[in-house]
Amino acid sequence: MITHYLTETVSEFLQSRATNTIGRHRIIVYLVHSVLVVTIISMQFLGLGGSSDPLPLSMSGIHLAACLLSLSLYLTRRLTLSKAFSLVALVAQCTIAVRFFYFATVRPDHFLQLILVNQIVSLLAVFFLVLSFVRLTPFIVSAISVVSYGCVAAYLQEPSLWRLFGFFLFVQFFLCALGELLRHNVMSVSKENTDLHHRETALMHAVRLNRREIEAYLRMSSNDHPSPEDTDCLFSMLKPKSQRNLVNAVRQYLKRNLMDDCDLAHHFPCLTKSETDVCRLILAGKKRREISMLLGKTENNVDVTRNHIRKKLNVPTDQDLQKFLINLLIEKEYPNTEEINK
């Protein structure tokens, strides 16, 4: 129960502070780093590790204070994640540099091991910065770390420290270069995903369908011979407005393309050439007056021709001639398609 509550709380917090997976990943890395800093420094204050001398302890206190301050500023939205993480990392590296020179001059017990431990802490800080895709700060932290470590190694003239200098130099700047490349690629992918989402949203707005409705339509259209059940399934998933939009779009397409390209004489062999010409203009949405002007006939002749068409095609008297012709042509062009009734 407690675990579920904590999981829900963390999930809500991440959703409120980041809009994508990359943002949530960065927050998790920063929070894990903060928890580790607080835990390790608290253990040092309890005497469970590290140097117990006053100066190293005071440096740890400064590090802890910077960590808690940056965390509070981030949680109150006064600092961005990158700035908060950079602040604590730079303060931490400065405290480590002070510890280096303290260990080199005072030389307490196990001072060489303490220098190496602090250098490893610097390496881990760079690693966390890289994981959270923070820009430039890893290079600054690495530069301070390597320079301070090199100065201490030169001052002490310890072969063991010099042997590890090249290793730390290579690893830290390799991490920085790799992190910068990773950050650039991740941000590019994120931008592409954002652009794709915007195009997808624009497409759905243009066709006036949502994602689920588009997927249903694509599944049906991929079938060469959709059954009536497939059509019913599609329309059952569409909202009434989407149904009307889809049907109207099909009707408009048929009016602009099918009606102009189809062979009316082939589909209606019982009609004369004059009647076929009238049919074509009726399908184009022309009125009686326009038909008479285009064909050079009187309006009475057009009416007579329309009546002949109705009789030959068995058009019911209460049926609109244009809609009847459209549905009849659809049936002839697409035998497996049911009539579109509007």
* Domain spans of the chain, in order of start: 2-199, 208-238, 250-333
Judge residue 313's burial from the number of C-beta atoms within 10 Å of its C-beta, 0-12 exposed, 13-18 middle, 19 or more buried.
Answer: middle
- Tell me the whole-structure pTM to 2 decimals: 0.60
Of residues 290 and 212, which shows the higher confidence score?
A: 290
The residue among 299, 289, 339 whose CA lies nearest residue 319 is 339
Place of tokens 């510890």: 99
C-alpha–C-alpha distance, residues 195 and 247, integer Å: 30
pLDDT of 335: 59
Instruction: Assign domain 250-333 to its CATH architecture.
Output: Orthogonal Bundle (1.10)
- pLDDT given at position 151: 92
More confident residue, 179 or 1: 179
Residue, of 50 and 339, whose pLDDT is higher: 50
DSSP state of 338: P
Query: How many CA within 13 A on the CB side of residue 243?
Result: 13
The tokens describing 237, both together, are 């998933």
Do residues 223 and 233 lie in contact, with contact meaning Cβ atoms separated by under 8 Å? no
* Whether the predicted pLDDT of 67 surpasses 90: yes
| Among the listed residues 162, 135, 131, the one whose alpha carbon sits nearest the alpha carbon of residue 146 | 162
Look at residue 99 and tell me whether its pLDDT is greater than 90.
yes
pLDDT in tens, 205-245: 766 666 776 766 666 666 666 667 667 766 776 677 777 77
How far CA 213 is from CA of 220, 240, 252, in Å, comes to 11, 12, 20
| Residue 40: how many other CB atoms lie within 10 Å | 16
Contact 275, 315 (CB under 8 A): no
- Bigger pLDDT: 288 vs 86: 86
Spatial separation of the C-alpha atoms in residues 335 and 303, rounded to whole Å: 30
In one letter, which amino acid is 323? K
Which range has the worst mean pLDDT, 3-12, 247-256, 284-293, 332-341?
Answer: 332-341
pLDDT > 80? residue 251:
no
Helix axes 137-156, 159-207, angle to 10 degrees: 180
Joined together, the tokens standing for residue 214 give 């588009």
Average pLDDT over residues 109-115: 89
Residue whose structure tokens are 């006939």: 297
